[in-house]
Each structure stands twice: as structure tokens, then as C-alpha cells.
Chains A and B, each alone.
Chain A
Amino acid sequence: MHEMSIAASMLEAVQAESTRRGAHVLAVGVKIGALSGVDSESLRFCFDALVRDTDLAPLSLEVEALPWRHRCRHCARDFPVVDYHTECPRCGSPETEMAGGSELEFAYMEIEET
């Protein structure tokens, strides 16, 4: 359960952005990859619990879930990994490498107009 630490890091970033702009942040968007090791529901729970008693409230969390993707080293095909099948669906090569899914990134913040 490290989602509480991650939610706390997110709030620090929102606080910094809010201070820098001198405006209230209404929402924060994040991208969470399937292999990021972060559970979106758990993150949401922790995020809401931490926000509640701060000046940042109300602040909503918008999560975009990104799939686990690989890219073929032979034919460069980029494909989603389903049921742990990492071999290339086009040329059949087993030599593929990760092309997405480990993301744990901010995407945007919604700022209140002043």
C-alpha cells in the first residue's frame, strides 16, 4: 500500500502549482500504466482522504489508465500485451520490448480562472 505516499506526492505538486499560479486547482489528471504498480481505486481513496482537510479541497482526481504495450524489435509493431503474451502478433518474434504501461505521470491540472 504505497498509494498514500504517492497521493501525498501528488498533493505536494498541486500545492506548488497552486502557489506558483496564485489560483485554485480544481482537478488534477494523471496517467497510470498497467505496470506502474499503482492501483487507481486505492490511489483515489488515499487522495480523497488526504485532500479533505486541506486548503486544496475541493480537488478532483482524474485517472487515465494506460495499457501495457510492447514493441517488436524486428518489425517495430507496437501492440497491447494481453494475457502476458509478449510475442509480436504480426511477425511472431519473441524479441519485443516494453513500449508503455509503466507510466505514473501528471497529465494536466484544471485551474480556476481568476
Chain B
Amino acid sequence: MTRVPVERKVLSENDRLAAELRQGFLQHGTLCVNLISSPGSGKTMLLERTLAAFEPDRRVAVLTGDIQTDNDAQRLARYGFPVRQITTGGACHLDARMVEKALAEWRPAPIDVLFVENVGNLVCPSSYDLGEEARVVLLSVTEGEDKPLKYPATFHRADLVVLNKIDLLPYVPFRIDLAREYIQRVQPDAEIMEVSCTTGAGLDTWRQWIEALSSVRSSGNGNS
């Protein structure tokens, strides 16, 4: 029996596809944002509020992942921007192959900002690079503020954590100071934002964050 070293990642095939996607996004000046959260934290609602605020001629699109139904795509399509549903048929996360396949079949017009709404799940999506520029994790105040400690694999890869539903803070025991502390413990470099998709609080900051990344991305684009 011989032991041979094999030095590569288990998900190297996913990482290879993700690198291809990332290269494509870079070439086309597309900002790709991967949104991850538990079911019910408000990913779709945040996207609805985000799409509603874009000018109609803005080149924005959404890929939304669910295990079943195209309900989210129907909700998001009302805003007039291209939306495509990825129905995973059981898989608890999106992977780079699903994104690549959806984009290849879809062939949307050139996009400045592509939002990818992952399957609602705080564990499995964390392992799969989708070629995104930014990973955004949502945590709503109706959940436990210790979620960053319970799901560190997801939070430690976040570029931005959005604390959603802050209009409900008077009615729930969620401690936002603790949530911030826990996020910083698992991911000291994450930005943190407080928003309410119901009242609109904090959404300007969120939009500015997206626009700032998008303008960096499109100005770095060599063949616009």
C-alpha cells in the first residue's frame, strides 16, 4: 500500500467554476452579491426594497434560489428587472455550477449588479463559493443574537452583516450590542448595518454600500 499526497480542496471543482464566474463578472464589470440567511430573515424583502429604489434603466438582475416553488421570483419580478429562479429540487444551498448553468440558459443583458439570493440556510451555503464579490449575511432581530456564535462558518465569511427588522426591537428581547459583539468575534472585518425593510430605516446606507462597490467594479472594467 502506498500513501500519495493529494493537496487540493475537496470542493476544488466548485472553486474552479466559481473562479471562472468571478473572472466573467470582472470582465463585464458586474458586481455579484451573495445573500445568505436563515429562512425568514428577510432576504427577499430586502431585495424588493432594493429593486424598488433603482432607476428603471439600471442594469440590475436577481438569481433567487429555493428548494421548491418560484414564489420569490414572482415577488421580485414585479419591479421590472430580470429575475430568474433556481429551484434546487432538494439541495440546501446554491453551488457555482447551478449559478453558471442558470446564467448560461438565461443570457441576461449586461448587468451592473447581480444579486444571488441563496437558499434560506445558515450552514450549507457557507461552503460554496459562487464567484461573488461580496457575501452578505442577514440576521433578523426575531432570531437569537447568538446566531453568529452558533453558525460561525457562515458569519466568519461575511463581508457585511445586515441586522434586519430593527423596527421590532421594542417587542423582542434581541440585544443588538451583543449581536454586534458576537459578529465581531467570529469575523472582526465584517461591516455591520442595521435596517428595517418595513420602515425603510438604514436602507439608504445599504444602497450606498452597493453603489460604492458597483462603481469600483464598473470603473475597473476594461471593456465596458
Cross-chain contact A109 with B11 (CB below 8 angstroms): no
Cross-chain contact B185 with A109 (CB below 8 angstroms): no
- Nearest residue (CB) in A for B14 is A9
Interface residues as binary, A83-94 with B (CB distance below 8 Å gives 1, 0 otherwise)? 011100000001
Q: Please tell me if A99 contacts chain B, counting CB pairs below 8 Å.
A: no
Q: Which residues from chain A sit less than 8 Å from chain B, CB to CB?
A: 1-2, 5-6, 9-10, 12-13, 17, 26, 28, 30, 35-38, 68, 84-86, 94-98, 102, 104-113
Complex Cα gap A108–B126 (Å) = 24
Output the least CB separation between A22 and chain B (Å): 13
Q: Please tell me if B93 contacts chain A, counting CB pairs below 8 Å.
A: yes
Task: Please name all residues of chain B whose beta carbon is closer than 8 Å to the beta carbon of A37 when the two chains form the complex.
Answer: 123-124, 126-127, 153-154
Which of A5, A12, A112 contacts B91 (CB under 8 A)?
A: A5
Task: Please name all residues of chain A whose beta carbon is closer than 8 Å to the beta carbon of B93 when the two chains form the complex.
Answer: 2, 5
Complex Cα gap A12–B8 (Å) = 13
User: Which residues of chain B in 147-178 are interfacial with respect to chain A, using CB atoms and an 8 Å cutoff?
Assistant: 149, 152-154, 156-157
Cross-chain contact A98 with B156 (CB below 8 angstroms): yes
Cross-chain contact A6 with B127 (CB below 8 angstroms): yes
Complex Cα gap A75–B29 (Å) = 39
Cross-chain contact A113 with B1 (CB below 8 angstroms): yes
Q: Give 22 pairs: A residue, B residue, CB < 8 Å, sorted on A.
A: A1-B92, A1-B124, A2-B124, A6-B11, A6-B127, A9-B10, A9-B11, A12-B13, A36-B127, A36-B153, A37-B127, A84-B149, A86-B188, A94-B188, A97-B188, A104-B11, A105-B8, A105-B9, A106-B9, A108-B3, A109-B3, A110-B2
Q: Please tell me if B212 contacts chain A, counting CB pairs below 8 Å.
A: no
Cross-chain contact B9 with A108 (CB below 8 angstroms): no
Cross-chain contact A104 with B4 (CB below 8 angstroms): no
Which of A12, A84, A95, A107 contacts B186 (CB under 8 A)?
A: A84
The 8 nearest A-B residue pairs measured at CB: A37-B153, A2-B124, A106-B6, A37-B126, A35-B153, A84-B185, A111-B2, A104-B10
Task: Please name all residues of chain A whose beta carbon is closer than 8 Å to the beta carbon of B123 when the two chains form the complex.
Answer: 2, 37
Q: Please tell me if B5 contacts chain A, counting CB pairs below 8 Å.
A: yes
Cross-chain contact B149 with A106 (CB below 8 angstroms): no
Q: Please tell me if B7 contacts chain A, counting CB pairs below 8 Å.
A: yes
Q: Please tell me if B72 contacts chain A, counting CB pairs below 8 Å.
A: no
Q: Please tell me if B112 contacts chain A, counting CB pairs below 8 Å.
A: no
Task: Please name all residues of chain A whose beta carbon is closer than 8 Å to the beta carbon of B5 when the two chains form the complex.
Answer: 107-108
Most B C-beta atoms less than 10 A away, residue of A13, A85, A96: A13
Output the least CB separation between A103 and chain B (Å): 8
Task: Please name all residues of chain B whose beta carbon is closer than 8 Å to the beta carbon of A95 when the two chains form the complex.
Answer: 188
Output the least CB separation between B138 and chain A (Å): 17
Cross-chain contact A102 with B10 (CB below 8 angstroms): no
Cross-chain contact B2 with A113 (CB below 8 angstroms): yes
Complex Cα gap A3–B178 (Å) = 31
Most A C-beta atoms less than 10 A away, residue of B3, B149, B189: B3
Task: Please name all residues of chain A whose beta carbon is closer than 8 Å to the beta carbon of B11 when the two chains form the complex.
Answer: 6, 9, 104
Q: Please tell me if B117 contacts chain A, counting CB pairs below 8 Å.
A: no
